[in-house]
Amino acid sequence: MTNPAAAALIARSNRLGADPKNTNYAGGNTSAKGTETDPVTGEPVELLWVKGSGGDLGTLTESGLAVLRLDRMRSLVDVYPGIEREDEMVAAFDYCLHGKGGAAPSIDTAMHGLVDAAHVDHLHPDSGIAIATAADGEALTKEIYGDKVVWVPWRRPGFQLGLDIAEIKAQNPQSIGCILGGHGITAWGDTSEEAEANSLWIIDTAASYIADNSKAEPFGPALDGYAALPDAERRARAAALAPTIRGIASADRPMVGHFTDADVVLDFLAAAEHPRLAALGTSCPDHFLRTKVKPLVLDLPPTASVEDSIARLHELAVAYREDYQGYYDRNAVADSPAIRGKDPLIVLVPGVGMFSFGKDKQTARVAGEFYVNAINVMRGAEGLSSYAPIDEAEKFRIEYWALEEAKLQRMPKPKPLATRVAFVTGAASGIGKATAAKLAAEGACVVIADLSLEKAQEAAAELGGSDVAVGVQVDVSDEAAVQAAVDAAVLAFGGVDLIVNNAGLSLSRSLLETTERDWDLQHDVMAKGSFLVAKATAKVMIEQQMGGDIVYISSKNSIFAGPNNVAYGAAKADQAHQVRLLAAELGEHGIKVNGVNPDGVVAGSGIFASGWGANRAAVYGVEEKDLGKFYAQRTILKREVLPDHIANAVFVLCGPELTHTTGLHIPVDAGVAAAFLR
């Protein structure tokens, strides 16, 4: 049974974390102190429950709490070796843990254990950080809160900060919390309800003061020519620039992207002071650990051509990398971790929006959310005073902190297709659906493209939320529809890397029964459709300069001549030769092109369910329900071929093992001698 103090803590944390005005994703931490019976002695023991390292308040559960014996934790004061060695205290927290399991104690554990209050909240609200990063934040704190909230000058999170806040509370018994310079807020209370009320009062009071006292144009006047483009034009421009921007953000290591054109971003970029403020960088440690110390900002108006914007982005990328190297060189010391990469994680394009990047979609999205937090902070600080974040030396100490490096090293090894964006056509059923599921399971972000938007979205939802998969509608025989679907993919995940041309259909008819419309329909979907998808996506991959994979789901029928199959077989042969042609052409860009030749994939097949199965069963003189078994018996291995088998072949072609293979067709037909490749 959950301890009542811990239960109240979890409920409070969930409420606070559910509202973005209170704290950012995975930001801040909360705690409660209470009593339990020690299972060893049978005597009461005082405990501290505190949100563990890396957890999120909004979704916190009991397993996300670190549980420490309060007497042991507070005894660490007697062995504290001083600020120069305070990082050692994090490892010491492990010797204070009560029982097994739970989360790892965070760097802020000292703040919660040493402050003499039953309940403590440490949060990163935009309004509070605006006061914390204002040039005259100390005076503003006094003016806004009187003596109820105390100013604490910037200090890196750690044991010493916990001692400082504990002393401040002791010296200011009337206080309910403090503003942490350059960082956030801390509040406390004798009950969980009191701590929550105090936190919200600090946050809301700051927000109200900013609203009532801010200058009219905190970001300066409108910058001529930098207003947001109209919606459709803006998103078309974003899709046109996204591949170049993703390539820039992935020069050191591949990244997944996220795009937003929220008003808060567009308004910031339309104002005269945005270049100065962006160059100052973010301040709250939670922010710049996700966004890097500052963004790359395109210094051209949205009226500039796409070509000019791309050229300028490449120039700015070189300058950004040089600047980041300088930042590292100025601040690194002998035992600093190695530089982690010089590419931007946030790219701002006036009139268009913000591109953010990370090791996966969630990380990329959250990085963008954090920069929106930073914009809100800048607005509040500039509206009252001037924005004055912590200096770059302190930022570097946080970014290249040994404790942060250790946290990164503990991260699980990425899956084989992590950071790759897959675009699969005909992916709402059969082979396409199985392939999409396999690629997602191996770490890829997946775009489910299908003629039916409803089915595409349903299939995407089965794979997880929009951080994993999205569904888009596409008629692959329509060039404009293909481009629209590829643009949607680019805006969803930053670009594309892995294309599976799977969309298909078949009509089983003899030569004399096959109409011109039958011929055109099958060639439009499979031959022309594959060409259009390959053309649109290859353009993205070439602009990204990250290589890529194109896989055609062809057929045994591209090799084998069967009866009543002229239109389908000819279209599949066209696809098969496209593989060879494109492999020869796209290799110079690092793009591999390969194919898979399935046969007899009846289970889950949209083609077989739509009449093809009944026709083929009639041709071979078997019951339709037995068609899969019939196909299996005519193979060398006598095994039925399932969609998952084709999905596995696609993964092998695109995975880490076949990096030097292009122009290959893999038969997945359980062995059909007549379709052996020669």
Just list the catalytic residues.
Answer: 568
Tokens of 308: 């000019």
Spatial distance between the Cα atoms of 45 and 64, rounded to a whole number of angstroms: 21
DSSP 292: -
Contacts of 338 (CB under 8 A, 6+ apart): none
Q: Mark out the alpha helices in 214-347 (DSSP H runs).
A: 231-249, 263-269, 274-280, 285-291, 306-331
Tokens of 522: 């099958």
H/E element holding 360?
none
H/E element holding 226?
none
Residue 244 CA: distances (Å) to CA of 236, 331, 423, 521: 14, 30, 18, 35
**CA-based angle 640:641:647, to the nearest 5?**
155
Tokens of 590: 């690092």
The three-class DSSP label of residue 590 is coil
Nearest of 115, 174, 125 to residue 150 by alpha carbon: 174
Give the per-residue SS3 of 131-157.
Answer: HHCECCHHHHHHHHHCCCEEEECCCCC
Chain-centroid distance, C-alpha 172: 43
Tokens of 362: 């969630």
DSSP 227: S
Question: Are the C-beta atoms of residues 286 and 124 closer than 8 Å to each other?
Answer: yes
Query: Can you list the positions of beta strands (E) in 563-654?
Result: 591-598
Question: Are the C-beta atoms of residues 556 and 598 closer than 8 Å to each other?
Answer: yes
- Cα dihedral 377, 379, 380, 382 sign: positive
DSSP 400: T
Q: How many CA within 13 A on the CB side of residue 660?
A: 0
Nearest of 545, 626, 640 to residue 586 by alpha carbon: 545
Phi-psi region of 279 (alpha: psi -120 to 50; beta: other; left: phi over 0): alpha
Spatial distance between the Cα atoms of 400 and 53, rounded to a whole number of angstroms: 17
Question: Are the C-beta atoms of residues 96 and 73 closer than 8 Å to each other?
Answer: yes
